[in-house]
């Protein structure tokens, strides 16, 4: 326990110090001056009581102002505190009043909503009663009709609906009917485009031919109910490879019929006649390549090598260090106005000079 009287005396002594010795009265300083110090929790409350009893204002007192001025400052601080508290009280009172007004307004809205709910409930009840009445009257009216009459009405309705659907379908069929001869004209145009492609690029498979056809022609096929696909195009082109047809199919590649544009028997093309012996063994190999292309049609270099005679292969091996390796480059280097073959697209070579070489 601490002595209250001793604490008050020590606090008064600390407060009475003047000049450079003046210090602020605190719990720590008071406790240090006590004979029996005690704990801070015991000394603190007594020091607070002393500050309240003595009206201790350390900020003003430590400034060492005249007593009259200190008193006036103290009174001013107290008056200021009272005014702040009064202002806060007025604000709280205003907020409380506004809250009461809002609560009253909310209660009015709630009352109006309850009244609206009551009106709506009464209307719902009236409408429910009206619906029940109409149902009863409808049941009575239906009960007055025989089952035969109801079945006849149902049959007539069903017949009318089916007839309407059939009439709509027939009208659409009439509008969308393909004109007579449109499909035949379409296939004639396809044949013409295919011939133009193979004459320009050489033998081609059905897939490449389909990709080479104009987009307008493909769309036209859909319009005449003949949408083109690889299988469908191949089937139609094979129909043109018969006797008198315009195409020939070899190893899955389509090319123009040999009778079209070929020279008459006994009248060979100029590039087929060798007036002079080969200038070198390499030239002799290229003549053999020409002969293979004449017999088998346009081919790729790797396929040409397989068709060359054994003596030609031996001649090529002796003439070139790498033999027939990179044969496609060797053929490409010998394409020109006086060449034995020409490029025809897709990596294929055909016998004879091409159109550009002839023009040159």
How many CB atoms neighbour CB 302 within 10 A? 11
Residue among 231, 232, 116, 134 at smallest CA distance from 183: 232
Tokens in use for 355? 């159109």
Query: Does residue 170 sit within a domain?
Result: no
Same domain, residue pair 276 and 227: no
Kindly list the distances between the CA atom of residue 206 and the CA atoms of 229, 240, 250, 254, in Å, as whole numbers in the listed order. Answer: 9, 13, 12, 7
Cα gap 81→75, rounded to integer Å: 10
3 state DSSP class of 260: coil
| Residues 299 and 307: beta-carbon distance below 8 Å | yes
Tens digits of per-residue pLDDT, 33-65? Answer: 888 877 888 888 988 999 888 888 777 677 666
Final residue belonging to a domain, choices 234, 256, 278: 256
Residue among 230, 234, 271, 237 at smallest CA distance from 256: 237
3 state DSSP class of 248: strand
Final residue belonging to a domain, choices 256, 287, 313: 256
Domain CATH number, residue 230 = 1.10.10
210: CB partners within 8 A, 6+ apart: 228, 229, 230, 233
Tokens in use for 161? 């609906």
- Total domains in the fold of the chain: 3
Query: Does residue 201 sit within a domain?
Result: yes
pLDDT at 360: 44
Query: Does residue 313 sit within a domain?
Result: yes
Per-residue pLDDT at 300 exceeds 80: yes
Tens digits of per-residue pLDDT, 173-205? Answer: 555 556 667 788 888 888 888 888 888 888 888
Cα gap 116→119, rounded to integer Å: 5
Domain interval for residue 283: 270-359
Cα gap 320→327, rounded to integer Å: 10
| Residues 191 and 246: beta-carbon distance below 8 Å | yes
Tens digits of per-residue pLDDT, 72-106? Answer: 777 787 788 888 888 888 888 888 888 888 888 88
| Residues of the chain above pLDDT 70, percent | 79
């Amino acid at each position: 326990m601490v002595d209250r009287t001793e604490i008050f005396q020590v606090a008064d002594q600390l407060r009475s110090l003047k000049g450079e010795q003046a210090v602020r009265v605190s719990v720590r300083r008071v406790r240090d001056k006590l004979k029996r110090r005690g704990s801070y929790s015991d000394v603190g409350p007594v020091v607070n009581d002393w500050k309240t009893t003595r009206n201790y204002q350390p900020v003003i007192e430590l400034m060492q102002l005249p007593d009259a001025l200190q008193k006036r400052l103290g009174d001013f601080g107290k008056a200021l505190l009272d005014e702040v508290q009064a202002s806060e009280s007025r604000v709280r009172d205003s907020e409380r009043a506004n809250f009461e007004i809002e609560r009253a307004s909310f209660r009015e809205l709630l009352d109006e909503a309850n009244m609206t709910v009551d009106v709506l409930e009464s209307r719902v009840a009236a409408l429910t009663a009206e619906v029940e009445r109409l149902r009863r009257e409808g049941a009575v009216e239906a009960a007055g009709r025989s089952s035969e009459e109801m079945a006849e009405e149902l049959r007539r309705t069903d017949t009318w609906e089916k007839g309407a659907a059939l009439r709509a379908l027939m009208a659409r069929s009439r509008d969308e009917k393909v004109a007579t001869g449109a499909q035949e004209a379409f296939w004639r145009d396809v044949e013409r485009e295919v011939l133009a492609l193979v004459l320009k690029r050489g033998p081609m498979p059905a897939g490449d031919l389909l990709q080479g056809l104009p987009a307008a022609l493909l769309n036209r096929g859909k319009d005449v109910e003949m949408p083109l696909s690889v299988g469908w195009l191949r089937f139609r082109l094979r129909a043109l490879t018969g006797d008198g047809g315009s195409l020939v199919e070899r190893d899955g590649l389509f090319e123009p019929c040999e009778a079209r544009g070929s020279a008459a028997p006994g009248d060979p093309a100029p590039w087929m006649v060798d007036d002079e012996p080969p200038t070198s063994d390499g030239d002799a190999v290229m003549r053999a390549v020409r002969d293979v292309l004449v017999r088998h049609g346009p081919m790729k270099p790797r396929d040409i090598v397989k068709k060359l005679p054994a003596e030609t292969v031996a001649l090529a091996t002796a003439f070139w260090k790498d033999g027939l390796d990179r044969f496609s480059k060797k053929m490409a280097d010998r394409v020109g106005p006086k060449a034995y073959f020409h490029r025809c697209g897709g990596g294929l070579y055909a016998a004879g000079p091409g159109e550009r070489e002839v023009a040159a």
